[in-house]
Amino acid sequence: MQSPFLSLTLLNAHSLKFLTKVNQKNRGRMKNLIAGNWKLKGSQNLADSYLNHLSENKPVNCTLLVCPTFDLLEYISEKWSQDFGFLGAQDCYHDDSAFNEGLASADKVARTGAGYIILGHSDRRHKCQETSGLVRKKVNLAWKHGLLPIVCVGEKSEERKSNLTQEVVKKQIIESIDFDHLDGSFVIAYEPVWAIGSGNIPTMEEIGIVHDEIRTLLITKIGSHQGKNIPILYGGSADSNNAEQILAVNNVNGLLIGGASLDIKGFGTIINKA
């Protein structure tokens, strides 16, 4: 098995900076990764308010990641400073050789200066019927183009009620990441589907159980040293009121935040608390 940290030549400058931070964390506590996923919302005004806020309040204690829509990614990247953190994209097409109309390829994403890409989000898995096999193709393409994939996993409400949460999450991870041919590093985001945008979140104990299970799985798959250093984010109705509590849970290494990232004031509070 290849180490996720061996393929550094494939990673672009943003990713390399991130991996350096990850490696630094090996000597201390892992810095939280706070990721804002604007989904199809956001505007140039929001981008400007982020840029103004961040130029006065550079994230110190956490690593910031902002994932706008593709058009805004190009807009914001022109004014982005590496001191702010990283930019990322939402999804890409699973085949960069084909002649496909209107879809962003991993190559195009990487050219914007983005370092990360969110893949397997529940909107894609459930509203667009994307399978873990498809997510795996995208993960491989992300690595090919030097992007760090954030692989989203999470159970639906009925799966939770049937006590299938851990089974579903583990299956999604195993099938979405080609552990036998790792060609880069990755981040996992645990996002219960029923928690996204609903205002409901699991208890801290429930979050802890799933994150511990994910950590154990990663260690089994890629060994203790690397498995312990893959960030595992929680996502689903995280906001400035609950962020601190969630971040205190064992094996929670950051947050993936949708709705609450659309207001830089509240999001700035989360960055300060992380």
- Residues 249, 208: Cα–Cα separation, whole Å: 6
In this structure, which amino acid lies at residue 35? Answer: A
**Do 122 and 193 contact (CB within 8 A), yes or no?**
yes
114 SS3 class: coil
Contact string (CB under 6 A) for ligand PEP, positions 95-124, x = contact: --------------------------x---
Stretch near ligand PEP under the rule CB under 6 A, chosen from 55-63, 85-93, 141-149, 189-197: 189-197
258 is a contact residue toward ligand PEP (CB under 6 A)? yes
**Do 118 and 91 contact (CB within 8 A), yes or no?**
yes
236 is a contact residue toward ligand PEP (CB under 6 A)? yes
**Do 5 and 11 contact (CB within 8 A), yes or no?**
no
Alpha carbon of 41 to those of 31, 128, 173, 191, 262: distances in Å?
27, 18, 28, 19, 8
**Which residue's CB is nearer to ligand PEP, number 221 or number 273?**
273
Stretch near ligand PEP under the rule CB under 6 A, chosen from 78-86, 106-114, 190-198, 207-215: 190-198
42 is a contact residue toward ligand PEP (CB under 6 A)? no
**Which residue's CB is nearer to ligand PEP, number 185 or number 237?**
237
Stretch near ligand PEP under the rule CB under 6 A, chosen from 48-56, 63-71, 214-222, 232-240: 232-240
- Residues 135, 59: Cα–Cα separation, whole Å: 31
- The footprint of ligand PEP (CB under 6 A) covers 37, 39, 121, 191, 196-197, 235-238, 256-260
Q: Which residue numbers are catalytic? A: 121, 191
